[in-house]
Amino acid sequence: MSLASQRTAAVPVAETETDIVPQEPSRWSLKHPHSRLGWIRPAIWLPLAVMLALLGGLWQWGTARMPYLLPPLSAVGDTLTRNPGYYLRNAGITLEESLLGLAMSFVAAFLLAVVMSEAPLVRRAVMPIAVVLNVTPLVAIAPALVVAFGFGSAPKLIITALICFFPILINTAVGLRSVPQPVLQVYRTMNASRSEMLVYLRVPNALPYLFAALRIVTPLSVIGAVVAELSASGSTGGLGTVISNASSMNQLAVVYAAIGVLAVMGSVLMLVITVIERRALHWHESAADRT
């Protein structure tokens, strides 16, 4: 009910000079930064709602025109509601693969970045290899890894870790190296040891870069897991396997349901990253325009 009273101020007020007082913005205005319930305003949700309705309509139109290419949305919803456990279980497998691969990659890339920042020799030895590995399409490597490591989780974790490795490595290395010179000078005159500089200066300085990397890498980790599942047909499970099985049996609704679950999963992961980032980087410039 407080909402109703909130939006009464759009009434124009006489513009005498004594009356120049900030007005509450109209409910169609986006300038309402302090309201916690800002998202209730039509200005926030309506554009998206219209867009979704349009896309839905387009989809249904496409379904009517070419039923062999697009399943009706109702059928997709149907299969999701009929056996949610099936999708949840497979989503869990894919999620586990991508998160585990991401974690492995994170630890390895972070440690390597630290070593590289402390020992230029290692950087010169490792960087070229990392670059070549990064430009090699992982989709091409995946089948080879499946041959080598079988249909279990090993090749999936390796592919996911590989795809996440490079962005974390590069970003962390840059962050560790980009402590401002005057800061380093101040702490050098205090005779700070290299490990103290690393712990107190370089690693915290690298945090914003690390989170930038995580934003890139989190969706990539899901891609890695799905690619690995797709290239190992006959895997134990996972949404990639669901997709490849269903498409070979021409169950389009199942394919699209799995795709939808993947999209939701990726979005939730990004949301989690964003929440953690806001906590960890409250001091950073990137937080300033959010407060």
Indicate the residue among 270 and 287 with the shorter CB distance to other proteins. 287
Minimum distance from residue 185 beta carbon to other proteins (Å): 6
Q: Is 189 in the site for other proteins (CB under 8 A)?
A: yes
Q: Is 223 in the site for other proteins (CB under 8 A)?
A: no
> What is the number of alpha carbons within 13 Å of residue 72 lying toward its C-beta?
5
Q: Is 141 in the site for other proteins (CB under 8 A)?
A: no
Q: Binding residue for other proteins (CB under 8 A) from 196, 263, 267, 286? A: 196
| Burial of 156: CB neighbours in 10 Å, binned 0-12, 13-18, 19+ | buried
Indicate the residue among 18 and 191 with the shorter CB distance to other proteins. 191
Indicate the residue among 171 and 235 with the shorter CB distance to other proteins. 171
261-267-269-275 Cα dihedral, nearest 10 degrees: -150
Residues contacting residue 3 through CB under 8 Å, at least 6 positions apart: 37, 40
| Part in contact with other proteins (CB under 8 A); list of ranges 82-90, 107-115, 140-148, 201-209 | 201-209
**Angle at CA 101, nearest 5°, toward 100 and 103?**
65
Do 267 and 183 form a contact (C-beta atoms < 8 A)? no
| Part in contact with other proteins (CB under 8 A); list of ranges 8-16, 184-192, 251-259, 265-273 | 184-192
Indicate the residue among 62 and 204 with the shorter CB distance to other proteins. 204
Do 167 and 216 form a contact (C-beta atoms < 8 A)? yes
In the complex, the residues that contact other proteins under the rule CB under 8 A are 180, 182-183, 185-193, 196, 200-201, 204, 207, 283-285, 288
